[in-house]
């Protein structure tokens, strides 16, 4: 059956151009939530994804892939800029996901386009933060602690998203010290399901 869970992002969210570091900050904030999910959601395979010695992915014909045949685990490490990214929803699994996003902002509903950039490009920034980066340029100069290099991310590629819906609401609280005008709180409800029937995604099959 499909797996459903909720991620929360709180922080700045600008239009896409020039904010690669911000997108890596999104990944950093969501990483511990995904790690907590993996510790309790057995459908993702337990130590098949959390083990240290995951296979390393490579580019093949412009696509990320792992060595075939897949004998052990379909999860992999994608190394960029010293980080080890581990995506959960990947083409290797033939998994896909749907997103329902509640966008909370310190403005009345309907004014979301007036601050921080247009909605379409801010959504692109968010979705970029949900997937693994393909190059160091997408890290915005961020580097990992050598004892904390792994980052779980939701997606290998934004093409895994088959549907998303956004509702906007006003955030009914006073700004905290350090909050930016472009700050948002996003409640991201995720539904993961199999896009194609494979042995490695049996637990996600059925819609």
Cα 81 versus chain centre, distance = 18
CA dihedral 204, 63, 20, 110 (to 10 degrees): -50
Look at residue 188 and tell me whether its pLDDT is greater than 80.
yes
Residues with Cβ < 8 Å from 68, sequence gap 6 or more?
none
Q: What is the pTM of this model?
A: 0.88
Look at residue 90 and tell me whether its pLDDT is greater than 70.
yes
Whole-number Å distance between alpha carbons of 205 and 192 = 9
Q: How confident is the model at residue 129 (pLDDT cuts 50, 70, 90)?
A: very high
Look at residue 161 and tell me whether its pLDDT is greater than 80.
yes
Q: Count helices and strands (H / E) in the chain.
A: 3, 9
User: In the chain, pLDDT over 70 holds for what percent of residues?
Assistant: 88
Greater confidence (110 vs 167) lies with 167
Look at residue 1 and tell me whether its pLDDT is greater than 90.
no
- Arithmetic mean of pLDDT over the chain: 86
Phi/psi at 84 (5° precision): -120, 100
């Amino acid at each position: 059956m499909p797996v459903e869970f909720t991620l929360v992002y709180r922080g700045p969210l600008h239009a896409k151009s020039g904010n690669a570091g911000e997108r890596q900050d999104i990944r950093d904030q969501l990483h511990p939530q995904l790690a907590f999910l993996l510790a309790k959601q057995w459908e993702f395979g337990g130590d098949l994804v959390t083990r240290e010695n995951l296979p390393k992915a490579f580019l093949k014909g412009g696509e990320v892939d792992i060595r075939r045949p897949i004998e052990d685990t379909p999860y992999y490490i994608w190394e960029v800029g010293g980080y080890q990214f581990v995506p959960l929803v990947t083409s290797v699994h033939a998994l896909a996901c749907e997103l329902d996003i509640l966008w909370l902002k310190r403005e009345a509903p309907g004014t979301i386009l007036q601050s921080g950039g247009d909605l379409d490009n801010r959504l692109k920034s968010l979705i970029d933060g949900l997937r693994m980066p393909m190059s160091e340029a997408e890290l915005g100069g961020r580097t990992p602690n050598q004892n904390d290099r792994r980052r779980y991310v939701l997606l290998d590629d934004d093409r895994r998203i088959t549907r998303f819906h956004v509702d906007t609401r006003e955030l009914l609280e006073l700004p905290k010290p350090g909050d930016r005008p472009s700050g948002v709180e996003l409640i991201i409800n995720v539904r993961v399901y199999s896009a194609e029937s494979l042995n490695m995604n049996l637990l996600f099959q059925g819609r």
